[in-house]
Amino acid sequence: MFEIDYKRIKKENIGNIILPFVAGLGFFLMFGLLELRPIIKKISMDSEAKASYIEENSYIDSNGNRTYSPIYHFSANGGSYICGSSSFSSTPPNSTGTVYYKKKNPYDCITDYAAEVNKPALIISAILVFSSLAVGVSNIKSTRKAIKNAKYLATNGKLIKGIPYVLEDIPDATNLRRIAIDYKKDNGSIVRLMWKIYNHKTSDSDGLVDLLIDPNDPNNYYIDFDIKFSGNVCVENYNYTNQVVNNKVQTKNINAEQIANDIQRTKAPMVKSKLIIKKIILGIIIAILAAMILIDSAIVRQTIAAKNYINTTTYLSKKSENESTKFDDYIYIFEDKNGKQQEIIISISKNEKPKKNIKIKYDEKDPQRFYEEGQTYDKLGITWYIVKAVILILLLFLFFNKSLLNKTSILTH
């Protein structure tokens, strides 16, 4: 039986397995989850009601385009409530609609208008996610097949020891090269067989490699510097005189020291630059993700601070005078838990039209302490934040792991 390093086969393919799944998760978080959040929130609601009245709440921007953020009026638990839209759209609302809300807190709601999915964006996101996952699954299957073939070779292969070889560069890889040998098939034709190796495993003492090959299928083979064996197996020694060998193989591989020197000499700056380019691209992605997480961290802190705050909706009362050239102050009113009317001032850019109502979370002990909608996260937002942090850690690990980063290309033997 022949000894094969199965861990080596797995290690050489691990980068091609991990990267597609990380990419798929990234596409899902960046695009898919963003599109699915309204649907997820809609599903989390436990009650629904038909809107008694729908306000268009539209405005025309500086480019002359009209956008809508409709406000739904509805009844629940014997009272009247409104549910606004957290975003704007160029599609006008229908005259009728449905509100989905939490029975214990009707202010926690979402309209069917806000829950509408951007189907083209969702389809593109799904294609990106499933394509990445398909590549990852395909690479897993390829690795399993390689291990299965290697196990077959371990018991049924033919070992040819002491074959001269050359080392070739692999595109997009600075820490991997290919062992290349010329093998003469039974019909007399010569084929080039190749196998990946790490640069620090350049050669052994004699400058030769061993080939373990399936006699019935020359495409199934395994190459290593010294393949051990035990028991009654088929072993041949390479005969320089009986097999036609490419001149390049003969002249460059008989001496191991010459091979090692050749490797160092042929490490061109162009090959090294590929790793630099990978790090630049990965660094940009990491920087963008880190900036997003930094911004999110402030919202997470506010979410933690407002964990015991009360949800409610404020209504636009009137404009308040100020001396700012960039913002206008507006007074919004709401009724606190004790039935007392409260007034708060919200600053809005002069380029924006004030909303008729704004959802807030306020401190029961001090109603003047509040956060507007979007300044805190729900459970889904916190989960998304944690997942992005995990992805950042994985990308940082990949960035500083030169060996793994070099193996992120789709490579062949």
Q: Which token pair is 25?
A: 């998760």
Ramachandran class of 52: left when φ > 0, alpha when ψ lies in -120 to 50, beta otherwise: alpha
* Model pLDDT, residue 8: 75
Q: At what angle do helices 6-27 and 119-156 cross, to 10 degrees?
A: 180
**H/E run at residue 362:** strand 357-362
* Model pLDDT, residue 118: 63
Q: Which residues of 287-301 are buried (b: 16+ CB within 10 A; e: fewer)?
A: eebeeeeeebeebbe
| SS3 assignment, position 110 | strand
Residue 146: partners with Cβ closer than 8 Å, 6 or more residues away? 9, 13
Number of neighbours of residue 50 by Cβ within 10 angstroms = 11
Per-residue pLDDT of the chain (413 residues; tens, 9 = 90+): 788 878 877 777 776 777 777 777 777 766 666 667 788 888 889 999 999 988 888 777 666 777 888 889 999 988 889 888 766 777 788 888 999 999 988 988 999 888 876 666 667 777 877 888 888 888 888 888 888 888 888 888 888 888 888 877 766 555 567 788 888 877 878 888 887 765 555 456 677 888 888 888 888 888 888 888 777 666 777 654 334 344 333 333 334 444 444 444 444 444 456 667 777 888 888 888 888 888 888 888 888 888 888 888 888 887 777 767 777 888 888 888 888 888 888 878 777 778 888 888 888 888 878 888 878 888 888 888 888 888 888 888 877 776 677 666 533 34
Distances (CA, A) of 93 to 57, 72, 73, 87, 279: 10, 10, 13, 13, 47
Number of neighbours of residue 51 by Cβ within 10 angstroms = 24
Taking the C-alpha atoms of residue 143 and residue 165, their distance in angstroms, rounded to an integer, is: 25
Predicted TM-score of the model (pTM): 0.46
> How many Cα neighbours within 13 Å face the side chain of 141?
6
The DSSP result for 73-99, as a single string, is EEEETTEEEEE--SS-BSSPPPSS-EE
* Model pLDDT, residue 180: 85
